[in-house]
Structure 1
Amino acid sequence: MRRNKTRRVFHVSITLLLVSTIFCQNGTSPAHNTTSDQISTYWSNRSQTMYSNASSLLSDLLLDYDIRLRPGFGGDALLLTMDIIIASFDSISEVDMDYTLTMYLHQYWTDERNIWVPDTFLANDKHSYLHEVTERNKMLRINVDGKVAYGMRLTSTLSCSMNLRNFPLDSQNCTVEIESYGYTTSEVLMKWNYPLAVHGVEQADVPQFTITGFHTEDSIVSTATGSYQRLSLVFQLRRSVGYFIFQTYLPCVLIVMLSWVSFWINHEATSARVALGITTVLTMTTISTGVRQSLPRISYVKSIDIYLGVPQPHDRRVEALEEAMSSSNTAATQNNNTSPPPAVKPKKRSSSPIPPLCRAGNAISEESDEVPDYPRYSATSLKGGRPHASLNHRTHHLRGSHTARAKRRMTLARMNVSMKQSISGIGRRARKAIPSIRVRDVNLIDKYSRVVFPVCFIVFNLFYWSYYMMAGATT
């Protein structure tokens, strides 16, 4: 009995549990399905609303929109601020007079439509390109209040007008000039984003130059199409002279000092002295040619030309080159001074020529009737012994018929005699003076040269370096 009663209670409990479970499932399932459908419908409606709002927003923005019109067209000028971050100075070329710069250019303005982009360009640009690795290096940020930040990374080769008169002890000013291409000052006003207008200059390393400073400028450029605002960044560069000291100046000093060795060579060794002098001259010319190849073909004289002594391609020799050439000149002078005197030619035997009609120094007088006497050729000594007309008679006849011609001949004769006497007098004085100034001791030239040339070269270097160092400090 107990077992049957226990089984009945168990079966009833199981039955009640199953019935309650079924009723619970039937009661909760409709509610769950209803909630899921409502959520799906909500997000679907919200997405449709967002897409509809975005389309409406774009439609409103692009309604009657012209990309050529700046923000606030027809009103006040738009304010455009800029700043630059210097990434690197890549190179500076004196031949092309330009330099290559990699930089970040940032522009800031306010635009309610958030679509317009300014048309800025680099006025002194020769060649530029935007970096595209791994993507195009451009950045655009739009704030809620309509402020726009637009940046790009570019490498540009910019022109730089250089004054090379003090090269290589010179200083140069190279600029980055930014300008609006189509908007005049009445439409767009540009200014630097102070106090953070320029960054990265202190960390930049310039080949062969040192950046001594930089500053910004703001100017207005007037052209045929209107007045445009220009922002300029000016770099003050001083050339590092260390490279040129080891490549040019020091070799020149050593070559000039080498040319002084000829002053200690025996003056009779003419070949050795001349060969040494010519070698130094050719070496100096080679160095100067190499320096000129790295510079533009300019007409004015540079400081390094003065030191090398070859200002231009034609044959002018000054300063340092004269130091090298002087050794050869000294050797030639000594060789000339030690040459034996010329041999005295024997006098020719005197002959008995026919006496001239007009003796030197005694011009024929126009009124004189005297005729030179010819004893060896008298009138009676001619062939046949026949008497001829006297010479006095013939001379008198010629003088009467050729008076004008005789006057001209006498004038030329007087001038010829006077000139010959002057030349012979100068020659006699020169022959007497030259032996008196001839150097008796040829070694005396070398003794003086050993002191004079080094002293002159040292004085020249003192003046040269003092002047150009002061000129560089002034500029």
Structure 2
Amino acid sequence: MLIRSIGQISESDMDYSFQCYFRQRWTDERLRFDIRNITEVTLNNLFLSNIWKPNTFFMNGQKSHQHNIPRPNLFVRIRNDGRVYLSRRLTVKAACAMKLNLYPMDKPSCPLVIGSYGYTEDDILYRWKYAGTNRTSVDVVNDIRLAQFDLITVTSSNMTDHTPFGEFSILKVYIYFERHIGFFILQTYLPCSMITCLSWVSFWINRDAAPARVLLGVTTILATAGIGMTVREGLSRVSYATALDTYLNVCVVYEMAAMIEYAAVNYFTKVLPLEGGADSSDEEIENVDPPGPNESVCLYSQKEYIYGKRTPELEKALPRTSFKLRSVDSCRKNRRKRQNSFGRLFLKCLTGNLKYRSHLRGRGNPDTGNAVSNIDVWCRYVFPVTFFVFNISYWLCYLFII
């Protein structure tokens, strides 16, 4: 067999096609002749109807045909010892069951199975001409070029198929390909990565700009989903996730996480005071243990601390030790900073802490609505770093490990 060209390799239909010269040789002693100075005779296709020939067919073939323009592309040669040589020009379309787990970094191998339609091994034994030698029985022309694949190698083998109807001699050909990934990087991976990075711009947008942040998040999710649907149109509807599906789904997860992050920021940090909410002057002093010699005391009641001076009641309540008295505003600021740390806010966000939100609204200050949330500040670093680590793991895993 000589493969002249390879056509489309379809992932959606799980098939491939190629054009080849298919040559068969067999010996029929009934066709011996003895003509002086003639050892071989070439005949046209009409002669085939008058002799015996093997009913060879492609077991996994689909819509294969012989070329008949301008005349049937075949010829027959008969030698004086009864050896028959038959050559046909065929276009073969065969099934190729691909495993798309690694798509588009996969290396598909497409088989071609050749055998007799009705003759068992008792009647016909198929063998490659150069089986067991250094020469190849299936040749490929050197100028074959494919748009999405590189042709790696072609192998051939002889086998016996055991069936309930007998043992059949068959031949197998495997054509190994390697897919080009450049197209997918330019058309899928790079755009999806840029769209995902675009969703992180919302971390720098003021949390009061709800329309801008929500519209940015929804747009990025829809854009990535649209790319995923377009890529899926050319694939078979397999029940497992491909490597490309994994990447697209992770991008969607990052974009949804950015949306959820803004919902948490808006719900737990952007608050306005309730009408008649608690006043800072009504807060009671916290019960604290007597301070040590080098410790400071924070007072939370303006009744106990007036204009930076100690009241007589405070002098009686505290022991006679030397300590530095910090301002009420500084203590409140530090306590609020601890309560608004990223870890605590994230935990309260996951648990849906309504008590915490009510407390914020009770002592909220409208003037601080434009302040930057600690959650936004943390996400500016967490999202890019984790996405970068994912990309490194993804490419190492699919290109070198699996």
**2:177 counterpart residue number:** 237
- Counterparts of 1:180-329 in structure 2, within 5 Å, are 180-194=116-130, 195-200=135-140, 202-309=142-249, 319-329=250-260
Q: 5 Å matches for 1:7-406? A: 84-114=1-31, 115-194=51-130, 195-200=135-140, 202-309=142-249, 319-336=250-267, 337-343=269-275
Q: Calculate percent identity across the aligned residue pairs.
A: 38
Q: Distance in 1 between matches of 2:262 and 2:136?
A: 68
- The equivalent of 2:382 in structure 1 is 452
* Partners of 1:219 and 1:231 within 8 A in 2: yes
Q: Which amino acid aligns with 1:269?
A: A
SS in structure 1 at match of 2:247: helix
**What 5-or-longer segments of structure 2 have no aligned partner?**
32-50, 279-352
- Using the TM superposition, give the Cα deviation of residue 343 of structure 1 relative to its aligned residue in structure 2, in angstroms: 4.1
Q: Equivalent residue of 1:327, what SS?
A: helix
- Name which of structure 1's ranges 324-333 and 226-235 shifts more when overlaid on structure 2: 324-333
Q: 1:463 to 1:432 in 2, by over 3 A?
A: closer
1:151 match: secondary structure: strand
C-alpha distance in structure 1 between counterparts of 2:374 and 2:239, whole Å: 42
Of the structure 1 ranges 460-469 and 444-453, higher mean CA displacement relative to structure 2 is found in 444-453
Question: How far apart, in 2, do the equivalents of 1:233 and 1:201 lie?
Answer: 16
Contact 2:11–2:234 under 8 Å retained in 1: yes
Q: Which amino acid aligns with 1:338?
A: K
Q: 1:432 to 1:308 in 2, by over 3 A?
A: closer
What secondary structure, in the 3-state scheme, does the structure 2 residue paired with 1:191 have?
coil
8 A Cα contact 1:85 1:103, kept in partner? yes
Distance in 2, matches of 1:196 and 1:255, equals: 49
Residues 168 and 304 of structure 1 are in contact (CA less than 8 Å); yes or no, is this contact kept in structure 2?
A: yes
Secondary structure class of the residue paired with 1:165: coil
Measured after TM superposition, the shift of residue 216 of structure 1 is 0.9
Q: How far apart are the structure 2 equivalents of 1:279 and 1:430?
A: 30
State the Cα deviation string for residues 306-339 of structure 1 (Å, max 9, x = none). Answer: 1100xxxxxxxxx211222232222222222112
Residue 435 of structure 1, CA deviation? 4.2
Question: 1:38 is matched with which residue?
Answer: none
- Structure 1 residues 101 and 204: CA distance shift in structure 2, 3 A: same
Cα deviation for residue 344 of structure 1 reads 5.7
Aligned partner of residue 187 in structure 2, secondary structure: helix
- Number of aligned residues: 298
Structure 1 residue 193, shift from structure 2 partner: 1.1
What's the offset of the Cα at 1:124? 0.4
Deviation, structure 1 residue 225: 2.0
**Cα distance in 2 for residues equivalent to 1:214 and 1:196:** 9
CA offsets, 1:138-192, max 9 Å, x none?
1111112222110100111100011111111111110111101121111111111
Question: For the residues of structure 2 that align with 1:151 and 1:207, how far apart are their CA atoms?
Answer: 29
In the alignment, is the contact (CA less than 8 A) between 1:215 and 1:234 conserved in 2?
yes
Q: Deviations over 1:420-443 (max 9, x none)?
A: xxxxxxxxx97379748x999643
**In 1, are the aligned partners of 2:224 and 2:248 still within 8 Å (CA)?**
yes
Q: How far off is 1:207 after superposition?
A: 3.5
What SS is found at the alignment partner of 1:157? strand
The Cα of 1:467 is off from its aligned counterpart by 0.4
Q: Quick one: which amino acid aligns to residue 146 of structure 1?
A: G
SS at match of 1:164: coil
SS in 2 for 1:171: coil
Q: Following the alignment from structure 2 to structure 1, what is the Cα–Cα distance between the partners of residues 221 and 274?
A: 33
Tell me if structure 1 keeps the 8 A contact 2:207–2:270.
Answer: no
| TM-score normalised by the chain length of structure 1 | 0.59
Secondary structure at the residue paired with 2:174?
Answer: strand
Q: Contact 2:138 / 2:154 at 8 angstroms: preserved in 1?
A: no
The answer to whether the 8 A contact 1:108-1:147 is kept is yes
Q: Kindly tell me: are residues 249 and 297 of structure 1, through their superposed partners in 2, closer, same or farther at Cα, counting changes over 3 Å?
A: same
Supply the AA of the counterpart residue of 1:213: T
One-letter amino acid of the counterpart of residue 323, structure 1: Y
Please list the CA deviations of residues 377-423 of structure 1 after superposition, one character each: whole Å capped at 9, or x if unmatched: xxxxxxxxxxxxxxxxxxxxxxxxxxxxxxxxxxxxxxxxxxxxxxx
Q: Is the 8 A contact 1:88 1:102 kept in 2?
A: yes
Give the whole-Å Cα distance in 1 for the aligned partners of 2:239 and 2:220. 26
Structure 2 CA distance for partners of 1:116 and 1:270, relative to 1, 3 Å: same
CA–CA separation in structure 1 for the residues paired with 2:255 and 2:357: 31
Match of 2:319 in 1: none
State the distance in 1 between where 2:401 and 2:8 align. 25
Is the alpha carbon distance of 1:432 and 1:295 closer, same or farther for their aligned partners in structure 2, counting shifts above 3 Å?
Answer: closer
How far apart, in 2, do the equivalents of 1:344 and 1:301 lie?
A: 56
The 1:434/1:306 distance shift into structure 2, 3 A limit, reads farther
Letter of the aligned partner of 1:446 in structure 2? D
Gaps of 5+ in 1: 1-83, 310-318, 347-428
Contact 1:214 1:235 in 2 (8 A): yes
Q: Secondary structure at the match of 1:192?
A: coil
- The Cα shift of 1:446 comes to 2.1
The question of whether the paired residues in 2 share the 8 Å contact of 1:173 and 1:237 is answered with yes
Superposed CA deviations along residues 38-93 of structure 1, whole A, max 9, x for unmatched, are: xxxxxxxxxxxxxxxxxxxxxxxxxxxxxxxxxxxxxxxxxxxxxx0001111111
